[in-house]
């Protein structure tokens, strides 16, 4: 029986959405009484929601495109590496305001085991901030101060798995069958072997297999990522409702954006590859409806590391939306490929595929983040262009490792698999672009060209459909942190190369003309100035353009009758873009560019 709710706002939002929400829930869980519990969880979360967040909800219901505006500018960071604790980070909000940030993504900060926590992605308690970082009140205080500064806080919601030390996992290990059903636990290898026959391995070298034997429990447990991360069983409605309760709790602490980690993996079904299954979309759709009812100020950003053809489904449809935006992983990878090759053909093709997606598709664009660069290029397109996919991948990760003749990069491999020839790349933007090598070798021409490469990449990224997000430190040219090799708790993971403490000494030079921090700082300001153009309106038309030179990426933006041209030379040579005009798009016939130069022109 449908409940009656006293809160008129909650009741008004629930009424038009309840039938679909109930139908979706029952499509996964039948007539489970957990739906009533889910409804009660939502009602209580709305009742507990602070008044200032309810005001934000109301404002954003009237401004649903807020996250698509041209002035959106983001940054991602680890709290402890940037400042220490949450209270320390709050003291540096002026530094964030200097950059006109509107979006801050903090890496996972909920209670986690130490030291094995996969950078915070193994979570012991989804409701509580890790004591090493602060308290729940510290988080609420920080989000309030950020809102006052016009900055929305994003946190990861790691819903695919828990730490093996989570209270549910501990109960499962102690033999409680109720909590064993929160995970995938099996007495023998019969079913795990059936899964392994078709489910790809996430980390075939670092963490081979999809199951781990738990001696205490006497069972095999599904662990697709690392052995200390147990996959949750979303076929159990109690898991879904409990996780949604935690998400709403974080939303009430002031989190405005949730990055849904590993979205495609969250539903497992025997006989499939456990990726991109229809039930995943049912769950994300229920999450979207839930947020529209309880906390409409909140938006969801999906981490979907999949081919472009798989992406549109994660946005849903305009009538039944799912994620508000996705990480633009594929274009990030292609930007680095184009920089190494001086060839933009793969990059242009990938951008074209994303620009062809429906208008409700929106992206967070970036160059570097907490993770590695996985060389997941479009192999079919590579073959069409006469490129051998495996040889190309090997070239790229060895290039950014600095092991290819003529390479200016200084990075490291991550998760190298000699059997498949696969590997990923680590390093900061500045070091991958050559700045670190130039400083070590005292090579002034290389230094100048490397800074130019760095700024080219940021401007090209900033011109894309969506909004840009910096990795903290890129705004001052932070270099690799090789000291991680001296830390026994961090040495096994080469991603720590670009997870080093923020260099506040260098940041102090951001206003000193001619210094590296100043040149990168001013470069990021130029990206923001570029994006203040009316052609960065949410409804702008964005497309690539043929430059008649494979080393040049040309893009056109149009909005309100205004046209903006961006040309970016990824080649280490002088080049000239030759541009054809068409009706409604009048462009200069030629644009001359120096190596790694870009030009932005109103036409």
Is the alpha carbon torsion for 331, 334, 336, 342 positive or negative? negative
CA 370 from centroid of its chain's CA atoms: 9
CA separation for the pair 577, 563 (Å, rounded): 17
- Tell me how crowded residue 348 is: count the other CB atoms within 10 A of its CB: 21
Is the alpha carbon torsion for 397, 328, 227, 28 positive or negative? negative
Strand partners, 575: 593
Tell me the DSSP string of 169-206. HHHHHTT-HHHHTTS-EESSSHHHHHHHTTSPPSBTTT
Q: What is the CA radius of gyration of the chain?
A: 24
Strand partners, 366: 469
Strand partners, 592: 576
Interaxial angle between packed helices 237-252 and 278-294, expressed in degrees from 0 to 180 and rounded to the nearest 10: 40
The answer to whether 261 is a known catalytic residue is: yes
The answer to whether 526 is a known catalytic residue is: no
Which of 156, 231, 261, 422 is the catalytic position? 261
SS3 63: coil
Q: How far is the first Cα of the chain from the last one, in angstroms, to the nearest whole number?
A: 61
Please, are residues 415 and 372 in contact by the beta-carbon 8 Å criterion?
yes
Which of 256, 292, 303, 412 is the catalytic position? 303
Q: Is 560 exposed, middle or buried (0-12, 13-18, 19+ CB in 10 A)?
A: exposed
Please, are residues 194 and 271 in contact by the beta-carbon 8 Å criterion?
yes
Picking from 549, 565, 324, 523, the residue whose alpha carbon sits closest to that of residue 430 is 523
Is the alpha carbon torsion for 209, 214, 220, 222 positive or negative? negative
Unique residue bearing structure tokens 């950078």: 119
Q: Which residues are catalytic?
A: 261, 303
């Amino acid at each position: 029986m449908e409940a009656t709710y006293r809160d008129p706002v909650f009741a008004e939002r629930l009424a038009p959405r309840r039938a679909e929400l109930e139908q979706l829930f029952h499509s996964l869980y039948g007539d489970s009484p957990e739906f009533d519990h889910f409804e009660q969880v939502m009602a209580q979360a709305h009742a507990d929601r602070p008044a200032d967040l309810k005001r934000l909800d109301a404002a954003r219901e009237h401004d649903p495109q807020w996250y698509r505006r041209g002035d959106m500018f983001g940054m991602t960071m680890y709290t402890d590496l940037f400042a220490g604790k949450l209270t320390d980070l709050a003291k540096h909000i002026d530094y964030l305001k200097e950059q006109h940030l509107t979006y801050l993504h903090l890496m996972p900060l909920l209670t986690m085991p130490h030291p094995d926590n996969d950078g915070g992605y193994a979570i012991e308690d989804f409701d509580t901030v890790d004591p090493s970082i602060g308290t729940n009140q510290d988080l609420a205080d920080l989000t309030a101060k950020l809102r006052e500064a016009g900055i929305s806080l994003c946190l990861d919601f790691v819903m695919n798995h828990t730490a093996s030390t989570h209270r549910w996992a501990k109960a499962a290990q102690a033999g409680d069958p109720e909590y064993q059903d929160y995970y995938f636990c099996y007495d023998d290898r019969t079913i795990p072997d059936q899964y392994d026959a078709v489910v790809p391995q996430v980390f075939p070298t670092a963490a081979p297999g999809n199951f781990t034997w738990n001696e205490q429990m006497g069972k095999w447990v599904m662990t697709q990522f690392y052995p200390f991360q147990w996959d949750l069983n979303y076929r159990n409605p109690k898991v879904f409702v409990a996780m949604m309760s935690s998400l709403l709790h974080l939303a009430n602490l002031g989190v405005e954006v949730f990055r849904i980690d590993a979205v495609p993996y969250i539903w497992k079904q025997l006989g499939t590859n456990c990726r991109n299954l229809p039930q995943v979309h049912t769950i994300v759709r229920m999450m979207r409806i839930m947020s529209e009812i309880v906390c409409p100020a909140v938006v969801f950003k999906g981490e979907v590391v999949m081919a472009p053809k798989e992406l549109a489904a994660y946005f849903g449809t305009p009538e039944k939306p799912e994620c508000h935006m996705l990480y633009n992983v594929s274009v990030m990878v292609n930007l680095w490929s184009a920089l190494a090759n001086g060839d933009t053909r793969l990059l242009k093709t990938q951008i074209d595929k994303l620009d062809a997606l429906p208008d409700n598709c929106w992206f967070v664009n970036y160059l570097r983040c907490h993770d590695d660069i996985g060389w997941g290029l479009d192999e079919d397109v590579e073959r069409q262009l006469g490129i051998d996919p495996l040889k190309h991948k090997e070239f790229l990760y060895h290039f950014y490792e600095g092991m290819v003749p003529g390479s200016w990069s200084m990075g490291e491999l991550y998760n190298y698999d000699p059997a498949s020839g696969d590997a990923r790349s680590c390093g900061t933007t500045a070091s991958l672009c050559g700045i670190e090598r130039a400083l070590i070798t005292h090579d002034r021409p290389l230094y100048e060209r490397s800074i130019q490469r760095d700024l080219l990449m940021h401007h090209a990224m900033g011109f894309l459909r969506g909004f840009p997000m910096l990795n903290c430190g890129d705004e001052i040219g932070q270099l690799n942190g090789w000291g991680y090799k001296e830390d026994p708790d961090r040495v096994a993971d080469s991603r720590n190369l670009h997870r080093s403490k923020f260099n506040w000494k260098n940041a102090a030079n951001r206003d000193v003309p001619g210094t590296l921090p100043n040149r990168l700082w001013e470069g990021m300001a130029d990206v923001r100035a570029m994006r203040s153009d009316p052609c960065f309106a949410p409804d702008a038309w964005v497309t690539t353009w043929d430059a008649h030179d494979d080393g040049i990426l040309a893009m056109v933006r149009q909005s309100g009758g205004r046209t903006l041209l961006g040309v970016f030379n990824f080649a280490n040579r002088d080049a000239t873009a030759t541009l054809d005009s068409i009706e409604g798009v009048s462009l200069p016939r030629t644009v001359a560019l120096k190596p790694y130069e870009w030009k932005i022109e109103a036409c």
